[in-house]
Structure 1
Amino acid sequence: MSADEPLSGEAAPAVVPADAAAPRVVRGPRGSYAKGQARRQQIVDEALLVFARTGFHSGSLREIAKRVGLTPAGLMHHFADKEELFVEVVRQRDEKVRTAAGDPAEHTLIEQAEKVVAYNQSTRGLTSLYAIVSAEATDSEHPSHPAFAERYRDTAVRSAELLRAGQEAGEIRADLDPEHAARLISAVMDGIQLQWLLDDDVDMVALFDEFVTRYLRP
């Protein structure tokens, strides 16, 4: 096929005189897409605040819609239902925490955990969301129940592997049971978060450092 031939299924371009005025460039669709994405993110940001305060079941789509200047029906143009919106809120929260933790290849388990604790102490809304939703997810009927159960299992498995590697490197106490310690790390982090959410005077970073020093370090 020559460069002048149209692609299969396309109409051949019309011949336009050289002195004809240049056609007007229509940028509507691209601009509309950008605006749609911006509005979608605005909805997620406001939903985070609502879910972090009242949880999934009590979080009202009507309130979220009102906060972004939409009707509930208008909000449904961006998300099919409350569960889809909630899943996106949690997904973005998880992505931010993973970024804060850093690359596992470059940081030990303890370093990653310390980074997450410090990040959580600087983002009250996200931390509150996690605390409320993880408690709600103990209900087997909650939309996030399977995901949270799997999350804790997977985290425990990965943490145990890293703890064993740390023991071999002399960075973790040799007498620890890696499987038990992996579960305890999550329990301590979650417990400290809850106390901090109830009392701003609690220093999560200092408390977790104390746990690391007295329990994990040789």
Structure 2
Amino acid sequence: MSTDERSAAPRRPRGPYVTGQARRQAIVDEALAVFSRTGFHGGSLREIAKRVGVTPAGLLHHFADKEELFAEVLRQRDEKVRAAAGDPAEHTLIEQAKRVVAHNRTSRGLTSLYAIISAEATDPDHPSHADFAARYRDRAAEAEQILRRGQVDGEVRDDVDPARAARLISAVMDGIQLQWLLDDSVDMVLLFDEFVARYLTPATAPIR
């Protein structure tokens, strides 16, 4: 390779940058384990740092405070859930919900985190209170519109109120997940399929 070719080739990150990124991700991974067990308020930066093998000061080199670290844990959790749901252009709302339920069964830590934090966030002083309130509100509004289109296309029962059904989908998913966290013999996928078949899907429509 000539000098010009070497200078034109993209440079790969290496050295301290790669090490720093790996350390940052290790902190996020351990934070997930801690927050999913003890919640935000119970989660200690000192414990997370110890699990990673750094000092609390070393942890704060990567994240300004516990709130920033917690936000990154939630962001990565959301990315994984969106990936599990699939492309909205390729899957109906019901199919996406089923895919998320199946995914959550394979990721107990993330499912536990969401269950604990959503309960904690009912406290108006919790750092995620506004975020979780907006999550449920926005998710319901989006689901309502999708359900209305599903009724037009014959994929959703026409005697179902889309606004109520939108809220019920989240309620059923969260409730089933909580029962599974308490008793892993609970079949989340089977129960959610039952809800869809009995409540959302027209009797004449194929259940996918």
Which residue of 19, 29, 32 corresponds with 1:35?
19
Q: Distance in 2 between matches of 1:155 and 1:103?
A: 16
Runs of 4+ residues over 2 Å off in structure 1? none
AA matched with 1:136: E
1:88 equivalent in structure 2: 72
1:179 aligns with 2:163: yes
AA matched with 1:59: G
Gaps of 5+ in 1: 1-26
AA matched with 1:119: H
Q: Distance in 1 between matches of 2:50 and 2:57?
A: 11
How many residue pairs align between the two structures?
191
1:149 aligns with 2:133: yes
1:72 equivalent in structure 2: 56
2:88 equivalent in structure 1: 104
AA matched with 1:190: D
| Percent sequence identity over aligned pairs | 77
The one-character-per-residue Cα deviations of 1:113-156 (angstroms, maximum 9, x if unpaired) are: 00000000110000000000000000000000011000001000
1:44 aligns with 2:28: yes
Q: Distance in 1 between matches of 2:97 and 2:59?
A: 36
RMSD: 1.0
2:108 equivalent in structure 1: 124
Which residue of 135, 140, 143 corresponds with 2:119?
135
AA matched with 1:193: Q
Q: Distance in 2 between matches of 1:110 and 1:170?
A: 13
Q: Distance in 2 between matches of 1:106 and 1:145?
A: 32
Gaps of 5+ in 2: 1-10, 203-208
1:208 equivalent in structure 2: 192
Q: Distance in 1 between matches of 2:50 and 2:109?
A: 19
